[in-house]
Amino acid sequence: MGLFECQFDPKGFEVTPEILDNYNKLGYVVIRGLFDSEDLENIKKVVEGSDALVKHAYTRGTISDHPATLALWNQPGNDVTGMVARCEKVVGISEKLLGGEVYHYHSKLIMKNANTGGKHIWHQDYGYWYQYGCLKPDMLTMFIAYDKCTKENGCLEILVGSHQYGRVDHLMISGQQGADPKRVGHIAKHTESQFVELNPGDALFFHCNVLHQSQPNTSPNRRWALISAYNRASNSPVIESAHPQYTPLEKVPDSCVKECKNYTDMSGKAFFKPTSNNLFQPINTK
Ligand SMILES: O=C(O)CCC(=O)C(=O)O
């Protein structure tokens, strides 16, 4: 079975009942061409044209010399990457898939450079968001390919429909939080694995209980991705933790991704600053 995918149409795109049914059944949808080359050119001016964003990058995990490098921010902000996270198409699709108002939970830039690391072990995003006080799995992740994502450069691999098995216990494995490998082994016998190969500007929306992993980038081709996570407004965390409680999201027209000229002012993004003991730990679990 191939990937479940549809093509974005800037003149009018709708999350149809067919898309919603498949999302609920498979746990994901790939939307090709959600961002076009002009959008990507403008995003590039922030991501590569200045160090304002990438200077916040850090490395996480000790998976046998294949650590993951990323920058993470809790509020979208007003630069071009903020427009990506706040634009009507992204927020609208997320609201349709989650069935109600959403807010920005966090975003990140995952940087898998050529011939480097970036291994992510099998996990569910809700594996740790649960620990952050989100009571329901009313959350999703949007993964946008900034570079072409292929099997060779460590694209995402998902277990299709694995969200239907519910949340799996997560354990600390070599510096990363991973889903209990025995449980994953059982689920893998009942689900199909799919490599999610994407072209720049394509987006994968996936349910927070979908099991996913990715291999290190052993290829000569860089694989960077922009990721934004959304939570239902009604599912605000019941404790203070690493990511924000309900904060109304100020939507912007899709055209702002092309038109925004803010490439350097990152004020208000609330970048995550790692310390030796806050990686994946709730800040306050009272
Ligand atoms: O970018 C990747 O390869 C995996 C990212 C991921 O799964 C995560 O950050 O939770």
**The 3-state secondary structure of the chain, one letter per residue:** CCCCEEECCCCCCCCCHHHHHHHHHHCEEEEECCCCHHHHHHHHHHHCCCCCCHHHCEEECCHHHCCEEEEEECCCCCCHHHHHHHEHHHHHHHHHHHCCCEEEEEEEEEEECCCECCCEEEECHHHHHCCCCCCCCCEEEEEEECCCECCCCCCEEEEECHHHHCCCCEEEECCEEEECHHHHHHHHHHCEEEEECECCCCEEEEECCCCEEECCECCCCCEEEEEEEEEEHHHCCCCCCCCCCCCCCCCECCCHHHHCCCCCCCCCCCECCCCCCCCCCCCCCC
Please check whether residue 217 lies inside any domain of the structure. Answer: yes
**Per-residue pLDDT at 280 exceeds 60:** no
241 within domain boundaries: yes
Q: Give the model's confidence band at 281: pLDDT under 50 very low, under 70 low, under 90 confident, else very high.
A: very low
CATH number, domain of 110, equals 2.60.120.620
Q: Is 286 within a domain?
A: no
- Whether 124 is covered by a domain: the verdict is yes
In a domain, 285, yes or no: no
Compare 277 and 157 and report the one with higher pLDDT.
157
Q: Which atom in ligand 1 lies closest to the alpha carbon of residue 110? A: 1
Confidence of residue 63 (pLDDT cuts 50, 70, 90): low
Q: What is the pLDDT of residue 276?
A: 59
98 is in which domain, residue-wise? 5-259
Say whether pLDDT at 35 is over 80: yes
Instruction: Tell me, in angstroms, the distance from the centre of ligand 1 to residue 161's CA.
Output: 18
Residue 231: the pLDDT is 98
Which has the minimum average pLDDT: 51-60, 153-162, 222-231, 258-267? 51-60
> Which ligand 1 atom is the nearest neighbour of the CA of 154?
3
Q: Decide if 179 is inside a domain.
A: yes
Q: In this structure, is residue 18 part of a structural domain?
A: yes
**% of the chain exceeding 70 in pLDDT:** 94
What is the total count of domains within the chain? Answer: 1
What is residue 278's predicted lDDT score, i.e. its pLDDT?
53
Residue nearest to atom 3 of ligand 1 (CA): 214
For residues 18-43, give the mean pLDDT: 98
Min mean pLDDT across 65-79, 88-102, 221-235 is at: 65-79
If you average pLDDT over every residue of the chain, what do you get?
93
Lowest mean pLDDT among 27-36, 108-117, 259-268: 108-117
Per the model's pLDDT, the better-predicted residue between 175 and 146 turns out to be 146
Closest ligand 1 atom to the C-alpha of 120?
A: 4
Predicted pLDDT at 173: 85
The reply to whether ligand 1 has any atom less than 6 angstroms from the CB of 110 is yes
**pLDDT of amino acid 62:** 62
**176 part of a folded domain:** yes
Residue 12 has pLDDT above 70, yes or no: yes
Share of the chain above pLDDT 90, in %: 85
214 lines ligand 1 (CB under 6 A): yes
pLDDT at 282 over 70: no
Best mutation site among 212, 221, 224, 228 for ligand 1, i.e. most ligand atoms within 8 A of its Cβ?
A: 212
Please write the tens of the pLDDT for every residue from 154-195. 999 999 999 999 999 999 887 788 999 999 999 999 999 999
Decide whether any atom of ligand 1 lies within 6 Å of the 63 Cβ: no
Provide mean pLDDT across the span 130-155.
97
Q: Look at residue 54 and tell me whether its pLDDT is greater than 90.
A: yes
Buried-exposed string 203-225: b where 16+ CB fall within 10 A, e elsewhere: bbbbbbbbbbbbbbbeeebbbbb
Confidence of residue 268 (pLDDT cuts 50, 70, 90): very high
Nearest CA to ligand 1 atom 10: 125
